[in-house]
Amino acid sequence: MTHRIYTYCTCLCAIVSSLAVGAEDPPIPVRIYSGAKSQTKTYMHQFVDSPNGTKYAFRYFPGRDQPQSAKGPNAGARPCEIWICNSDLTGHYKAFTSPKSEGGHGSDVIVWITDDLVYYAGLSYQISTGKILWQFDGGDAQLPLARAAAVNANRLYVGVRGRGGRERPSSTEGAGAPNKGWYWLNPSSPTKPQLHLVSDMKNLVEYFDGSWENAEATYIYQNPSDTKLFVVVYDPMKRQEYAFVLNAEDGSVHSYLGPNGRGRCHNGHVLWYDDETLFAGNQHPGLFDLTGNLITRLAGERQGNHISLSPDKKWWVADTYEEHVVRLYRFGSSDSVVISGDVKYSDHHPSFSRDGRYVFFQGKRPTEPHMGVYRVDVSSMIGVKERVPGVMTQGYGAGVECRMSKAK
d(CA 55, CA 94) in angstroms, rounded, equals 13
| Residue 372 identity (one-letter amino acid) | G
Please check the confidence at residue 168 and state whether its pLDDT lies above 50.
Answer: no
> Starting from the edge strand earliest in sequence, which strands make up the sheet with 30-31, in order?
30-31, 372-377, 358-363, 348-352
157, 45 Cβ separation under 8 angstroms:
no
Provide the pLDDT for residue 8. 34
Pairing state between β 55-60 and 80-86: antiparallel
Name the pLDDT band for 358 (thresholds 50, 70, 90): very high
Within 10 angstroms of residue 131's Cβ, the number of other Cβ atoms is: 10
Angstrom CA distances, 404 to 273, 310, 311, stand at: 19, 10, 9
Which residues sit opposite 55 in a β-bridge? 86
d(CA 58, CA 120) in angstroms, rounded, equals 11
Taking the alpha carbons at both ends of the chain, their separation in whole angstroms is: 28
Q: What's the pLDDT tens digit per position in 233-268?
A: 888 777 788 889 999 999 999 999 887 655 456 666
- Over residues 334-342, the mean pLDDT reads 83
Name the pLDDT band for 399 (thresholds 50, 70, 90): very low
Name the pLDDT band for 40 (thresholds 50, 70, 90): confident
Between 3-12, 208-217, 376-385, the lowest mean confidence (pLDDT) is in 3-12
State the average pLDDT for the chain.
74
Q: What's the pLDDT tens digit per position in 271-297?
A: 899 999 998 876 678 888 998 888 888
Residues 98-116: b if buried by 16+ CB within 10 A, e if exposed? bbbbbbeebbbbbbbbbbe
Higher pLDDT, 392 or 70: 70
d(CA 302, CA 288) in angstroms, rounded, equals 16
Provide the pLDDT for residue 115. 95
Q: What's the pLDDT tens digit per position in 368-397?
A: 777 889 999 999 888 776 554 433 333 333
Which residues sit opposite 360 in a β-bridge? 351, 375
Pairing state between β 39-40 and 55-60: antiparallel
pTM beyond 0.75: the answer is: yes
Please check the confidence at residue 174 and state whether its pLDDT lies above 70.
Answer: no
d(CA 165, CA 404) in angstroms, rounded, equals 49
The full set of domain ranges for the chain reads 1-31+294-408
CA-only gyration radius of the chain, Å: 20
141, 176 Cβ separation under 8 angstroms:
yes
Provide the pLDDT for residue 201. 81
